[in-house]
C-alpha cells in the first residue's frame, strides 16, 4: 500500500493553494438543534465546480511530468470528477478528454465542455464508459486520472480535513460521504494524525453500500435509483479500502428518505444547497441521533450539484412529511355550492389552497358524486390535522402521503 499520511496531505495543500478554494467551516445553530449535536458544516459545495473533487484532481494534475502533460489526460465520470479534471487541466494548459455515459444529463456535459475538455459520450453505464476510456488510454497514450484509487488524488482530498481541523479544532467526530472511498481515506490520514482522539466515520446510502459490504467481508450488492448519485459506486477503490481498514474506520449506511430530509434541512435551516451525496453525513445524524447527541460533529458538505427540479421535489416532499403541506382526497356530492363550501371551511381553519383537481366523469363512484383532490398549505402538522378534522365533519376525507409503505 502506498504511504499516504499527514506529510503527503500537507504537501498537496501547498501544491493546490490558489487553484482550489479554501472553503469555510460554519456552525449552524438550527441544524444543531434539529440533530441534538453541535454541528459544523464544511462547505465544499462552494468550490468552482461545486464539489470537493477539485482537490484530488488539482493535486494529481500538478504532479504530472512535462512528458505526461504533452500526452494529455483522460478521465471517466458522469459528474463532479469530470468537471474537476476538465477545469484543472485547462488551468495548466493540458488537453483533456472526458468519457461520459450516454445517460449523463446534458447540463453536466455542457459544464464539462465549458472548461475546455473534449467530451466523449460512450456506453450505457459508467463501467462501459470506463472500458472505452482505458482503451483510448492504451491506444493513444493519454494519462488516466482515476477519481479515487490514486495516492495523489487521495492526498488532495485529504486537504479538506486539514482545513476543517484548522478552523474547527474542537471537533469530536468527522462525518464523510463515501463513494469510492478517496475522500474518507484522505481525510482520515490527515485528521487521525492531527487529532488522534477524533472519530472519523464514513456514510453511504443504502442502495450503494459497497464500502460497508467490503469492510464486512460481504458480497457487494448495489443498484437502483438514488438521489445520492455522487456516491453511487459499485467498485470502491482498493487503495482507499486498504487505508480505511488499516485505520479501523466505520461506515454507516443511511436510507434514501434520510438523505432527502438532510437536503431539505440544509436548504431550509442552514441556507445551504447540497446534492444527495453532499447531504449524506448530515443524514447519518438524523438516523443515529443517540449516538451523536451532545457531541461536536463536523459534517462534510461535499457537493452542491443538484438539479433544480430534483431539489424542488425534495423540498415539497419534505413539506408533506412535516405536515406543512396537506394532500386530501374527498368524495363529494356533485351539486352547486359544494366547492365554495369546502374552500370556505379551509379558509376558516386558516389553510391556504395550493392546488385543486376536480374529477366528475370517471374517478367518482357515482354519477351523483365527484372526486376532489386538494393540496393545502398549513403552519405545521397539528394545524394540518385541524384542517382535515374540520372537513371530515362534513365530508369523507382521506389524507394522502408521499411515503411508500416500507418507508
117-141 burial string, b = 16+ CB within 10 Å, else e? bebbebbeebeebbebbeebbeeee
Point out the residues that are catalytic.
53, 302
Is 364 within 8 Å of 371 (Cβ atoms)?
Answer: yes
The whole-angstrom separation of Cα 162 and Cα 184 is 13
Is 49 within 8 Å of 280 (Cβ atoms)?
Answer: no
Grid look-up 368524495 returns 331
Residues 6+ apart with CB under 8 A from 221: 213
Residue 73 grid cell: 489526460
| Residue 69 CA, distance from chain mean position | 32
The whole-angstrom separation of Cα 51 and Cα 341 is 51
Alpha-carbon Rg for the chain, nearest whole angstrom, is 25
The whole-angstrom separation of Cα 315 and Cα 318 is 5
Is 43 within 8 Å of 301 (Cβ atoms)?
Answer: yes
Amino acid at each position: 500500500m502506498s504511504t499516504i499520511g499527514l506529510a503527503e496531505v500537507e504537501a498537496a495543500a501547498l501544491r493546490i493553494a490558489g487553484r482550489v478554494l479554501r472553503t469555510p467551516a460554519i456552525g449552524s445553530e438550527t441544524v444543531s438543534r434539529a440533530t441534538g449535536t453541535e454541528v459544523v458544516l464544511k462547505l465544499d459545495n462552494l468550490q468552482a465546480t461545486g464539489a470537493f473533487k477539485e482537490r484530488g484532481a488539482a493535486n494529481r494534475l500538478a504532479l504530472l511530468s512535462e512528458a505526461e502533460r504533452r500526452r494529455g489526460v483522460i478521465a471517466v465520470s458522469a459528474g463532479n470528477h469530470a468537471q474537476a479534471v476538465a477545469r484543472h487541466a485547462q488551468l495548466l494548459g493540458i488537453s483533456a478528454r472526458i468519457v461520459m455515459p450516454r445517460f449523463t444529463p446534458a447540463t453536466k456535459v455542457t459544464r464539462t465542455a465549458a472548461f475546455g475538455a473534449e467530451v466523449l459520450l460512450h456506453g450505457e453505464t459508467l463501467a462501459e464508459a470506463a472500458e472505452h476510456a482505458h482503451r483510448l488510454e492504451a491506444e493513444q497514450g493519454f494519462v488516466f486520472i482515476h477519481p479515487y484509487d490514486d495516492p495523489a488524488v487521495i492526498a488532495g482530498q485529504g486537504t479538506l480535513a486539514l482545513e476543517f481541523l484548522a478552523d474547527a479544532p474542537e471537533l469530536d467526530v468527522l462525518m464523510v460521504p463515501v463513494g469510492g472511498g478517496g475522500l474518507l481515506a484522505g481525510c482520515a490520514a490527515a485528521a487521525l494524525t492531527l487529532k488522534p482522539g477524533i472519530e472519523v466515520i464514513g456514510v453511504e446510502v443504502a442502495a450503494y453500500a459497497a464500502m460497508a459490504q467490503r469492510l464486512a467481508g460481504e458480497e457487494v450488492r448495489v443498484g437502483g435509483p438514488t438521489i445520492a448519485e455522487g456516491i453511487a459506486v459499485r467498485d470502491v477503490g482498493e487503495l482507499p479500502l486498504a487505508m480505511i481498514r488499516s485505520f479501523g474506520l466505520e461506515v454507516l449506511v443511511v436510507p434514501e428518505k434520510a438523505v432527502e430530509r438532510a437536503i431539505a434541512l440544509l436548504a431550509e435551516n442552514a441556507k445551504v444547497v447540497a446534492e444527495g451525496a453532499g447531504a449524506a453525513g448530515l443524514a447519518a445524524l438524523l438516523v443515529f441521533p443517540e449516538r451523536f447527541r451532545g457531541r461536536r460533529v463536523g459534517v462534510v458538505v461535499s457537493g452542491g450539484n443538484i438539479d433544480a427540479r430534483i431539489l424542488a421535489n425534495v423540498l415539497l416532499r419534505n413539506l408533506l412529511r412535516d405536515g406543512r403541506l396537506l394532500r386530501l382526497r374527498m368524495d363529494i356530492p356533485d351539486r352547486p355550492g359544494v366547492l365554495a363550501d369546502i374552500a370556505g371551511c379551509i379558509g376558516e381553519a386558516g389553510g391556504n389552497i395550493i392546488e385543486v383537481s376536480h374529477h366528475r366523469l370517471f374517478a367518482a363512484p357515482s354519477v351523483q358524486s365527484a372526486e376532489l383532490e386538494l393540496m393545502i398549505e398549513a403552519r405545521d402538522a397539528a394545524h394540518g390535522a385541524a384542517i382535515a378534522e374540520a372537513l371530515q365533519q362534513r365530508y369523507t376525507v382521506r389524507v394522502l402521503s408521499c411515503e411508500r409503505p416500507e418507508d
